[in-house]
Amino acid sequence: MTPVFKKEFLGYFRSPVGYVILAAFHFAVIALALYFGYYRNSQATLFTLFVRLPWVLAIFIPAVGMRLWSEEKRSGSIELLFTLPISPRSAVVAKFLAALCFICVGLCLTFSLAITTSYLGDPDWGVIFSGYIGAALTSAAFLAITAACSALTKNQVIALVLSILICVLSTLIGSDWLAQFLANKVPTGMLDVLRLFSFEQHFEAMSRGLIDISAISFYVTLTLAFLGINMVVIER
């Protein structure tokens, strides 16, 4: 498993694509944090960074994970991979962890804003820590979705579009914006059910410092479920 992990992780840095994705992610996250009033609010928190993070991740993570299986299928190297003495399960987990580590590099870069905050004020590090845990868990779930989509097709663009669609929709279904839009059109009970499946709602709790068991089990279940789908598709 380790050689596949190593190859995949280092693969992100073998071409300019990895650096471009990291730079674009960093720029988008910081720009949104500033736009939503990082300085204006005069609060020593990273709330403005976390508030729109699931939306950025819903685009950034499919861009990172789209190649995981599509590229192997397109180039034919999947034949080499599965004639090595590696089980499909190890290959799925190794690729997933490698991409997750790359995403964590992206998340670590945004730590620059946390350092700025500690320079300007006295932030609650517990809340920041919980926010980053939430971001990592959201990333893991989005990545599992992307990996499963990537296993379905040899076309990276299809994998990208499909996974962005699923990630954005699953973020949207519990957003306040959709709740206001549907307020008088559907029963409140239905909106509550939708919120149970929403990334934004679960992440929001964690970005406020609440490490919620229901949120963690939501992320972990979803991640495992999509990794399972990935495995079934690959073994087919």
Partner 1 sequence: MVTVDRLVKDYGTLRAVDGVSFTINKGDILGFLGPNGAGKSTTMKMITGFLTPTSGKATVDGFDVTENPIEVKQRIGYLPESSAAYPEMTVVEFLTYVAEARGITDKEEVTSRLADVIVKCHLDSVKYRTIENLSKGYRQRVGVAQAIIHDPQVLILDEPTDGLDPNQKHEVRKLIQAMAKDKAIVLSTHILEEVEAICNRVIIIDQGKVLVDETPEAFKARKPGATIDEVFRDITNKNILA
Footprint on this chain of partner 1 (rule: CB under 8 A) = 2-4, 6-7, 11, 14-15, 75-80, 82-87
Which residue, 6 or 40, has its beta carbon nearer to partner 1?
6
Read off the tokens for 42.
Answer: 């005069």
Which residue, 69 or 132, has its beta carbon nearer to partner 1?
69
Go through 66-96 and write b for each residue having 16 or more CB atoms within 10 A of its CB, e for each that does not: bbbbbbbbeeeebeebeeeeeeeeebbbbbb
The CB-of-81 to partner 1 minimum distance in angstroms stands at 8
The CB-of-72 to partner 1 minimum distance in angstroms stands at 9
Which residue, 12 or 47, has its beta carbon nearer to partner 1?
12
The CB-of-74 to partner 1 minimum distance in angstroms stands at 10
- Which residue type sits at 162? L
The CB-of-24 to partner 1 minimum distance in angstroms stands at 20
The CB-of-75 to partner 1 minimum distance in angstroms stands at 6
The CB-of-145 to partner 1 minimum distance in angstroms stands at 25
Which residue, 66 or 114, has its beta carbon nearer to partner 1?
66
Which residue, 10 or 183, has its beta carbon nearer to partner 1?
10
Which residue, 66 or 167, has its beta carbon nearer to partner 1?
66
The CB-of-86 to partner 1 minimum distance in angstroms stands at 6
CA 68 to chain CA centroid, Å, is: 15
Which residue, 78 or 152, has its beta carbon nearer to partner 1?
78
Residue 135's closest CA among 21, 49, 27?
49
